[in-house]
């Protein structure tokens, strides 16, 4: 299976589209090698701005460039871009609905060796509560490119959550559309709602569940805001049981968004799989962290199996 990091796809997209669209500018916070904006910096040095280790300034400069008519892509690590600059994002970018795409790398647990200080497990929560902000988390490199195409064709601010590690290419056979979830696999017994890297894990978990006679539907919610409530409710109505799977705190992230939707529109029993209101930790590999937090495919399948057994009693 073809493997590629979402951050690599982002860097390539910037260079390709920078050649076609001179209004595109990139702002970075001294992390361009890691965020993969360095290729754009080399080819278009006059359209690249490194503000140093200063995420609040990153957002302020991005807002100013947007007001000057530029299409701005601003990047840093997710924990710093959203955490340090939340007030600037809210008051300058989102309040005036500026054309700034905050494209954050190293989200979730992918900064394994860097420990909890570098692991963003709250960023989806704090970004989706901001009015005018759209929140996108592609499942792979191909969907990253599709989402960036949709962003450049849209108006207003976005937060895109990317990751460090190489991941399998999954987004084939459907036309990406912002705000529309994709059913990656049909099922009848339970729905696995996933986003980002957990889409792949959920598909693998569905394979394991099949061996137990359980038919799991897998829904890729690449756009967490605006949320596709129609697809979420339709799937829950069909299967009757729901599981959310995310590389994020279960409070306020994808699981929270799904819970809000189902509680209002189609009350359904829901299991939230993810980081259970805890900080990250250091590990030698990302896989070790996924196992520590119950995010490996076999763990997702086991938790889902147990959930179904309890629901059927």
Burial environment of residue 46 by CB neighbours within 10 A (0 to 12, 13 to 18, 19 or more): exposed
In whole angstroms, how far apart are CA 227 and each of 11, 153, 251, 258?
27, 19, 16, 9
CA–CA distance from 162 to each of 64, 123, 135, 189, 234 (Å)? 24, 12, 11, 31, 28
Distance, CA of 163 to CA of 9 (rounded, Å): 11
142 catalytic, yes or no? Answer: no
Which entry of 16, 22, 55, 81 is annotated as an active-site residue?
55
Any bridge partners for residue 183, and if so which? 219
200: region left, alpha or beta (phi > 0 left; psi from -120 to 50 alpha) = alpha
**Angstrom distance (rounded) from CA 269 to CA 281:** 30
Indicate which residues carry an active-site annotation: 55
């Amino acid at each position: 299976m073809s493997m590629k990091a979402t951050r690599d796809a982002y860097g390539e997209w910037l260079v390709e589209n920078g050649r076609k669209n001179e209004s595109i500018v990139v702002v970075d916070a001294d992390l361009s090698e890691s965020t993969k904006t360095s290729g754009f910096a080399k080819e278009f040095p006059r359209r690249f701005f490194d503000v140093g280790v200063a995420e609040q300034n990153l957002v302020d400069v991005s807002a100013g460039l947007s007001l000057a008519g530029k299409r701005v892509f601003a990047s840093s690590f997710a924990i710093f871009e959203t955490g340090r600059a939340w007030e600037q994002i809210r008051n300058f970018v989102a309040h005036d609905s500026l054309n700034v795409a905050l494209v954050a790398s190293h989200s979730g647990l992918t900064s394994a060796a860097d420990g909890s200080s570098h692991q963003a497990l709250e960023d989806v929560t704090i970004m989706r509560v901001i009015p005018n902000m759209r929140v996108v988390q592609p499942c792979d490199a191909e969907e990253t490119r599709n989402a960036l195409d949709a962003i450049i064709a849209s108006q207003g601010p976005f937060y895109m959550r990317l990751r460090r590690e190489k991941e399998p290419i999954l987004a084939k056979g459907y036309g990406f559309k912002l705000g529309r979830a994709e059913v990656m696999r049909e099922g009848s017994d339970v729905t696995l709602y996933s986003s980002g890297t957990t889409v792949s894990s959920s598909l693998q978990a569905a394979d394991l569940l099949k061996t137990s006679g359980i038919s799991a539907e897998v829904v890729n919610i690449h756009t967490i805001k605006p949320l596709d409530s129609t697809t979420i409710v339709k799937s829950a109505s069909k299967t009757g049981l729901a599981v959310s799977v995310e590389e994020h705190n279960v409070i306020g992230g994808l699981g929270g968004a799904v819970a809000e939707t189902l509680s209002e529109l189609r009350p359904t029993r829901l299991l939230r799989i993810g980081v259970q209101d805890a900080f990250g930790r250091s590990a030698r590999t990302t896989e070790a962290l996924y196992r520590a937090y119950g995010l490996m495919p076999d763990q997702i399948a086991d938790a889902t199996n147990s959930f179904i057994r309890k629901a059927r009693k």
